[in-house]
Structure 1
Amino acid sequence: MNLNYDAYDADNHLYEPIDSFTRHLPERYRSAIRYVDVDGRTKIAVNNKISEYIPNPTFEVVAAPGAWEEYYRGNNTEGKTLRELTGKPIRCHPAFRHPDDRIKLLDEQGVFGTLLFPTLASLLEERMKDDIELTHAAIGAFNRWMLDEWTFNYQDRIFPTPIITLPDPRRAIEELEWCVDNGARAVLIRPAPVPGLRGSRSMGLPEFDDFWTAVEQTGILVTCHASDSGYDAYANAWEGGRDEFLPFKPAAFRLVVGHGRPIYDTIAAMICHGLFERHPNLRVASIENGSTWVAPLMLELSQAYGKMPQEFAEDPVETFRRHVSVSPFYEEDIAGLIDAIGIDRVLFGSDYPHPEGLGRPLDFIKEVEDRSPTDQRKVMSENLQELLTLRPAA
């Protein structure tokens, strides 16, 4: 499939090799991240605790892109497990590791540009939240590996997203400025409460204002991409058992209560704690969190405004529509999302090459085929270009 314009995908991924976290990690922290052998299989251990977050953290073999599409469309009528749906794994394609190969693949797919997110790195912050120094060191080390291998702007087509961790706002500013100086067009901030020495807190509180001022000054896009946000603790309170978020071992209760909850709370905190009132030029994009959380949040914001308008500088629903863009899952009610937040705030994202994404990214256009050509072009191309400041705002 080829469009008559340049498609921009808001959600592509790389697969990290085993030195991605350790190449630049300071020597004193080298034992904090290790790859270990467990019964003949390689696992990642963080702070001496083996993680099953990703069953095969070396990514030498992976599930085929789009292998789970029917599952996520709700068409798993035979009740197969994700492993059964995966079938035979494939060898990790060079395009999942190297930018030149990725450019060739994008050309084959008919996609011109994309945001590029890590995969395994989304486990780091939650497993290090009790050690602020280690968290900042590990995230900084990963960002430097990403710059080595991918850059932060590859040929004005691939835009890798370095991670900004917020426990120490001063260090977050330093990392942000380093990322921008090295060409970053977007950064990734985990949708979760920010850990701290005195407990966790909202990133929308005034104590983070110096950081958000720096974001405004750079004009960079902030993406809140799905990560391990620590929310399995809430499910554990009901079901007990595991103490680790396992995205590829879903359970019905955890799926129902956890789907979209971290991003719901994150955007609610940003709005209710006045972040956009104090920083009116911020741009935030929700990536790989779906969109089913949007309507419930808008309802609650509207009701809160009706009850206590003095807590808001304006209608918080309008604040949402002005500052937040959303990349929905392909299987969701995208027409309803467009009605809720406006066509200018909806982003095409394929989640390629993950098995839960689309095997052919441009198939996403089928989900907006009932919209006008102008609207399709906004979703598939122009909205992300504008957020990346690749074209002037209308």
Structure 2
Amino acid sequence: MSGNESGARDIPKVISVDDHVIEPAHLFATWLPAKYRDRGPQPFTAGIGELAYVGGKYRFTTDPEGQVTDWWRYEDEIFPYKRIIAAVGFSRDEMTLDGITREQMRRGCWDPKARLADMDMNHVEASLCFPTFPRFCGQTFAEAKDKEVGLACVRAYNDWMVEEWCGDSGGRLIPLCLIPLWDVDLAVAEIRRNAARGVRAVTFSEIPTYLGLPSIHSGYWDPFFAACEETGTVVNMHIGSSSQMPAASPDAPPAVQASLSFNNAMASMMDFLFSGVLVKFPRLKLAYSEGQMGWIPYALERADDVWEEHRAWGGVKDLVPEPPSTYYYRQIFCCFFRDKHGIEAIETVGVDNATFETDYPHVDSTWPHTKQVATDHVGHLPEDVAYKLLRGNAIRMLGLPFDQDRTAAATA
């Protein structure tokens, strides 16, 4: 029974601000300049062997007797595709760390035309996709020894993202680009190169110091933030983009990390709220991806209380002139897909700050039931609020060419 048949109000189509793409095997052979191809990422297929979790990262070996898997080889590292990152179409009990080939995946994982068809099935109009092999903010290339090739790989990925993945989608696939994390001047150049062709989203680490990079407090990233502000480029920070997920104990099962994944987003947001970055760059927009939002009301309450009671000794008296929540409501976006507690507190979370995601094709994805999940969350809310949460805020955040009359009226 449809929403209209049941008497419930129909909901608008979703714009998902957090999905993922599995890179096609031809990506670097096609888009990397010829002189780098023999030193760039190489696709191969082999059996997968033992799994170990070392230093916050999964480590795999190949095994001729193991599950046939598609891999990338880059410098001294090998990277397998696992079923949990291409989980759509599998039952919950089949969503494991087993290896998988592209042919075993649902085609929408890596084929843009098939992705659009899966979006049509899922009540989704447009989608912003994070990388997989490069990792969430390009850590794979930042960790490479040969930075000349690494830079060429970043640019090749971005060219593929803009021209091939998004190119024929009519704007429904929204480009999300990488930067060379190891050099802020190169990062600024890449922001400007992509902005010139209409890109308005870049992925960045939630906690750069975990990657051995300067902190946002150091001033090192100010040219990057300035370029993003100037070009209207949204800084998107996905959980895990610090290559470190929180866990209570080193031997805890992965379910603990999955349950605590919002912690990195919360820590990152506090970092920004007390950094002065949002004061210095008042038009800079930050987006927290897959962090959910039920935790935000207390985090803002605590931040404002610390600012009020402790700012003299806390080092922010002159750095942050207004309560931290001021900058959150002005410049930060969160996103959700299953978070009824956050919906109950949506006025405090911010009806203008929350966006929606489907997480296709990961294990958490709401595909193909997104319309049902979204209706269950926002179907009882005022129509204008539901519109903002499911698409309006994403349109405004990313400057998308959808619903232009309605968006202009809402911001007038």
Q: Report the TM-score, using the length of structure 1 for normalisation.
A: 0.79
The alpha-carbon distance between structure 1 residues 298 and 12, as it changes in their structure 2 partners (threshold 3 A), is same
The 3-state SS of whatever aligns with 2:284 is coil
Shift of 1:127: 4.4
Q: 1:246 — aligned with what? A: none
Are positions 1:378 and 2:388 aligned together? Answer: yes
- Aligned CA distance change for structure 1 residues 21 and 262 (closer, same or farther; 3 Å): farther
* Structure 2 spans left out of the alignment, 5+ residues: 4-9, 47-61, 401-406
- In structure 2, the residue corresponding to 1:163 is in which secondary structure? coil
In structure 2, the residue matched to 1:318 is 326
SS in 1 for 2:202: strand
Closer, same or farther in 2 for the Cα pair 1:152/1:319, shift >3 Å? farther
1:329-368 residue pairs with structure 2 within 5 A?
329-359=337-367, 360-363=369-372, 364-368=374-378
Alignment partner, residue 74 of structure 1: none
Structure-2 change in CA distance of 1:159 and 1:137 (3 Å): same
AA matched with 1:150: W
Between the aligned partners of 1:259 and 1:136, the Cα distance in structure 2 is: 29
Q: Provide the secondary structure at the position in 1 that maps to 2:135.
A: helix
CA distance in 1, matches of 2:38, 2:103: 31
Task: Tell me which residue corresponds to 1:9.
Answer: 16
User: Paired residue for 1:244?
Assistant: none
1:221 equivalenced with 2:234 (yes/no): yes
Q: Post-superposition shift, 1:64?
A: 2.5
Identify the residue that residue 88 of structure 2 maps to in structure 1. 64
Deviation at 1:155, TM superposition (A): 0.9
CA shift in 2, pair 1:66/1:380, >3 Å: farther
2:254 to 251, 254, 257: 251
**3-state DSSP class of the match of 1:11?**
strand
1:369 corresponds to which residue? Answer: 379
Question: Which of residues 78, 84, 97 in structure 2 aligns to 1:50?
Answer: 78
Report the 3-state secondary structure (helix = DSSP H, G, I; strand = E; otherwise coil) of the residue aligned with 2:26.
coil
- SS of equivalent residue, structure 1 residue 327: strand
Kindly provide the CA deviation profile for residues 118-158 of structure 1, in whole angstroms up to 9, marking residues without a partner as x: 33332674445444725434322211222332236831222
- 2-side partners of 1:228 and 1:281: how far apart? 23
The correspondence for 1:270, drawn from 272, 295, 307, is 272
Percent same amino acid among aligned pairs? Answer: 21
Task: Answer yes or no: is the 8 Å Cα contact 1:225–1:288 preserved in 2.
Answer: yes
Question: Given that residues 152 and 182 in structure 1 are in contact (C-alpha distance below 8 angstroms), is that contact kept between their aligned partners in structure 2?
Answer: no
Say if 2:138 and 2:178, in contact at 8 Å, map to a contact too: no
Question: Per the alignment, do residues 7 and 239 of structure 1 end up closer, same or farther by CA in structure 2, a change over 3 Å counting?
Answer: closer
Per the alignment, in what secondary structure is the counterpart of residue 337 of structure 2? Answer: coil
- Matched-pair contact (CA < 8 Å) for 2:235–2:285: yes
Partner of 1:77: none
Q: Aligned pair in 2 of structure 1 residues 352, 34: CA closer, same or farther (>3 Å)?
A: same
Alpha carbon RMSD of aligned pairs, Å? Answer: 3.4
Question: How many pairs are equivalent?
Answer: 364
Give the SS at the match of 2:194: helix
Which of 124, 132, 144 is the equivalent residue of 2:159? Answer: 144
Bigger RCO (CA 8 Å, 6+ sep): 1
Structure 1 residue matching 2:242: 3-state secondary structure: coil
1:110 and 2:110 matched = no
Q: Which amino acid aligns with 1:63?
A: A
Residue ranges of structure 1 left out of the alignment (5+ in a row): 69-79, 242-249
